[in-house]
A and B are shown apart, each in its own frame.
Chain A
Amino acid sequence: MAEIKLKNLTKRWGDFVGVDDQSLDIADKEFLVLLGPSGCGKTTTMRMIAGLEEPTGGEIWIGDRMVNDDLPKDRDVAMVFQNYGLYPHMTIFENIAYPLRVRGVDKADIPERVQKAAEQVELTQFLDRKPKALSGGQRQRVALARAIVRTPKVFLMDEPLSNLDAKLRVTMRAELKHLSRELQITTVYVTHDQIEAMTLADRVAIMKHGVIQQLGTPDDIYNDPANLFVAGFIGSPAMNLINGSVQDGMFVTTGGTRLVKVNTPDRAAAILGVRADDMQVHEQGQGDIDVTIYAFENTGESTLLTVQWGKQRVIARGDRHLRKDQGDVVGISLNSDHLYLFDPETENRIGM
């Protein structure tokens, strides 16, 4: 049981900045997801917590101990790797037992504890096999079992699901969530998959270029994005970002369409953000604005309309029973409760 504190953590390789002076407090038993595109510093941050990478500056605290100078083995963490990192020359039993053996756990206790961990991830019938005889999903379970066989202070998971196929990923995601609720151990989870982040996290830290862009609950980052990057990164389809300006309390697109009332002083340049789900699709003439359909997609659970809006294309979500074709004209209205304004210069959110 432990909280993690990162204080002004920095990692540089020569001129390249991997993690730039970041501070982060992770509460005891919290499930924190580090989310971002590749190269954003999320994995580096995790590897520094594990002790596999040495920070250029700053401090890492696990519990009430500064662990900067501790070897990975002395930090009492367990880690699940993207490529599983199994020991190919050992059986599954020995793989799971390794952390116990190498830490000098009483030999008599080992079989029972391995059995228990294997049960938690439903692996009991494979214990005498070697990793190469297992499928990807099963190997990932072995890696998980190896992590939960001890009770470490911290779990670290580095994109544990990204090597699995899409269907298995959904199953494993639910199992992970279930397991983490059961175990109640502080967890740091790295991913580039926003769905994983949204579904698993207590809090999400979105990173870009080594800097945390926003730290908050999944609700916070979805409904209250701090800047353009977060707004564009979270949500599928991505949030529509419309260029324009604010004149007389109205948002006016670059094409000159007076679109919607916004509660903010006039400004020459602004970006309006609106999610596909926050737009209503109507028949022609019944919405705020009439637009021509560029592409109509039926996903089964809903329909996606890519519409030509002046020079820009915008995606709106329609009812699952809606049937239109490209070239048709529809009316669109915006839900003014869920509009976001951003400053194109600073990319930060503007209050409204």
Chain B
Amino acid sequence: MTGKQKKQFWNLIQTTLILIAMFIMLVPIIWIFLAAFKTHVDVYQLKLFFTPTLENFATVFDDPYRLGEKLVNSTIVALVSVVIAIPIATLAAYSFSRFSMRGETMMLVIILATQFVPAVVIILPFFVMFRDIGLLDTRLGLILVNLAIVMPFAIWMIKGFIDGIPMDTEEAAMVDGSSRLQVIRNIVLPMAAPGLVTSAIFCFIIAWNEFLFALILTNKNAVTLPIGLALFKGEEGDLWNLLSAAGIIIMAPMFVLALMIRKYFVQGMTMGAVR
């Protein structure tokens, strides 16, 4: 083989491998996309050509499923969690990154360790506490739980981004006449912006997909989308066409956010601050 042929051959192998990987990952999603537009009868037949219908999307928002309420709950819980978590996490991350505190490493490790505790272990205490103070089946309760879940993650992630900002730049701003808060507002936040957006999106995804706590801590008023999926059981078994339609509604924001993250990830971090 000549060099050119060799290169083409390798390109072919690369492309094939990527296609295989994509196929494995995408098959369930494709299946859901197809099922969402099928009638109940068509779902169980693996045919690719059928008359598509939007009826499933109408049905899931209707009685008795009322997915709209769950969509509102999910959106509020995820959004509010992120809006509260990111500013607090940013300040915490800045402190961890720039000040030396007694027991700093210990605190960071403890914060990280909370992520290793299996959710099922702490779900019972949450249930009992929330029952006693009346937070069971409320959005506020879910927001608190989600904060506990996403905050450690956000702190670690944002700390990484802030660590990447050169100290010189901040010190220059301080000598130039800024207070610490002005440094954070005028220098750190703009420079860490891609990191903050990325962290916010990750946190949103985690909160949006959170299942276990929502399952145990809600039953009627504060039910979120992932729990709502469990509603689609009929006497004749799972209603796959409705499940798929609801699944698409859950996934849609994720696709949009994934595209946004990609853009921010590519963006350079320090952008020529040094040398």
Contact = CB atoms under 8 A, between A and B. Distances in A.
B275 A83 contact: yes
18 contacts: A72-B174, A73-B174, A73-B175, A77-B175, A81-B168, A81-B172, A83-B275, A85-B171, A85-B273, A88-B169, A89-B191, A102-B177, A102-B182, A103-B177, A130-B271, A131-B273, A143-B172, A146-B176
B187 interface: yes
B177 A83 contact: no
A83 B175 contact: no
Contacts of A72: 171, 174-175
A77 B166 CA distance: 21
Given A89-B191, A130-B272, A132-B271, A81 B178 contact: no
Nearest to B270: A88
A341 interface: no
Nearest to A80: B172
A84 interface: yes
A108 B198 CA distance: 38
Contacts of B182: 102
Contact of A78 (B169, B173, B175): B175
B179 interface: yes
B166 A85 contact: yes
B105 interface: no
Contacts of B176: 73, 78, 98-99, 102, 146
A98 B273 CA distance: 15
Contacts of B114: none
Given A71-B179, A73-B178, A73-B179, A83 B274 contact: yes
Interface string B158-194: 0000000010110111111111001000110011000
Contact of B177 (A73, A143, A163): A73
Nearest to B170: A85
Contacts of A143: 172
B275 A131 contact: no
Interface residues of A, number: 33
B168 A88 contact: no
Contacts of B169: 85-88
Interface string B258-275: 000000000000111111
A72 B274 CA distance: 22
Interface in B228-275: 270-275
A327 B190 CA distance: 65
Contacts of B166: 83, 85
When A and B form their complex, which 6 residue pairs have the shortest distance between CB atoms, in order from nearest? A132-B272, A85-B172, A85-B168, A88-B271, A99-B176, A88-B273
A87 B175 CA distance: 13
A163 B275 CA distance: 8
Contacts of A78: 175-176
A89 B271 CA distance: 8
A84 B177 contact: no
B37 to A, nearest CB: 46
B40 to A, nearest CB: 55
B206 to A, nearest CB: 28
Given A73-B177, A79-B175, 16 more contacts: A52-B171, A73-B174, A73-B175, A73-B176, A73-B178, A75-B175, A81-B168, A83-B168, A83-B274, A83-B275, A84-B273, A84-B274, A87-B187, A88-B272, A130-B272, A156-B175
A136 interface: yes
A156 B172 CA distance: 11
Contacts of A52: 171, 174-175
A98 B274 contact: no
B272 A131 contact: yes
A336 B176 CA distance: 52
Nearest to A98: B176
Contacts of B272: 86, 88, 130-134
Nearest to B275: A163
Interface in A240-262: none
B175 A50 contact: yes
Nearest to A149: B176
Interface in A30-55: 50-52
Interface in B186-224: 186-187, 190-191
B175 A86 contact: no
B269 to A, nearest CB: 9
Contacts of A298: none
A130 B191 CA distance: 13
A82 interface: yes
A49 to B, nearest CB: 10
Contacts of A163: 275
Interface string A123-167: 000000011111010000001001000000000100000010000
Nearest to B187: A87
Contacts of B178: 73, 102
A8 B190 CA distance: 40
Nearest to B165: A88
A72 B180 CA distance: 10
Nearest to A89: B190
A84 B191 contact: no
B175 to A, nearest CB: 4
Contacts of B172: 79, 81, 85-87, 143, 146
A131 B272 CA distance: 6
A106 B274 CA distance: 30
B253 to A, nearest CB: 29
Interface string A58-83: 00000000000001110101110111
A82 B171 CA distance: 12
B187 A81 contact: no
Contacts of B171: 50, 52, 72, 79, 81, 85
B32 to A, nearest CB: 42
B177 A99 contact: yes
